[in-house]
Structure 1
Amino acid sequence: MKLWYIYIMTNKHQGVIYVGVTDNLIERVKAHKLKVYPNSFTAKYNCDKLIYFEEWDNGLEATIREKQLKKWKRDWKVKLIEDMNPTWMDISLNWNFDFSKVRSKK
């Protein structure tokens, strides 16, 4: 079964918030950290810290949830983040990324 992820990236505690959706969270976070897309929002604002994510079984439902979160007020997003991760710690800090390979976008 394929899983989908809604995720939130930031540049620092209480900093810029970016909401995204992906079917491969590890590779997507790695791409943000490496600034694979240098003209993207996350590259421009240095959003390279994963601070929140949700797992979904259905890609369509995940995309609907992503769009919902993007429309939320900042205060609501901050509450969502802090309920799971009160210190805005980079959840991916201890992941063992292989930075020599980046999955190409289909």
Structure 2
Amino acid sequence: MHENFQPCVYMLASGKCGTLYIGVTSDLVKRLHQHRTNALPGFTARYSVHHLVWYELHATMEQAILREKRLKRWNRDWKLNLVERSNPEWVDLALGLGFEPVATRLPMTGS
């Protein structure tokens, strides 16, 4: 097992009450770096879902995976309430883990 092994379920958002993404990892800092730099093509890169708004540590990957699967079945309101209970201002928790703020993508305007 490598030294940063810490099973974790996390939720990213594009902004307050924005597009949500739920994932699971054994190395949250490494995974956040991948999401924030768009190193992995996919949903979070396509929809600019880069703000860490909630996470939960687990003792085993099996527990984390079960929790992730449960959360993914939840309706949107339940997910929003989960974030709001522990992070009512929708602060980007990645900043507390040493990350720089992510620029929020502004809507395109015609000229």
* TM-score with structure 2 setting the length: 0.82
When Rg is computed on C-alpha atoms for both structures, the one with the higher figure is 2
Q: Secondary structure at the match of 2:70?
A: helix
CA RMSD of aligned residues (A): 1.3
For structure 2, the residue ranges without an aligned partner over 5 or more in a row are 100-111
Q: Secondary structure at the match of 1:13?
A: coil
Amino acid at match of 2:45: A
Q: Percent identity?
A: 38
Aligned to 1:57: 59
Q: Secondary structure at the match of 1:93?
A: helix
* TM-score with structure 1 setting the length: 0.85
List 4+ stretches of structure 1 deviating above 2 A: 94-97
Aligned-pair CA distance for 1:5 = 0.4
Aligned to 1:67: 69
| Structure 1 position 6 matched with structure 2 position 12 | no
Q: Secondary structure at the match of 1:7?
A: strand
Aligned-pair CA distance for 1:94 = 3.8
Aligned to 1:77: 79
Q: Deviations over 1:27-55 (max 9, x none)?
A: 101110000012x1000110110000000
**CA distance, structure 2, for counterparts of residue 94 and residue 61 of structure 1:** 25
**CA distance, structure 1, for counterparts of residue 32 and residue 90 of structure 2:** 15
For structure 1, the residue ranges without an aligned partner over 5 or more in a row are 98-106
Question: How many corresponding residue pairs?
Answer: 96
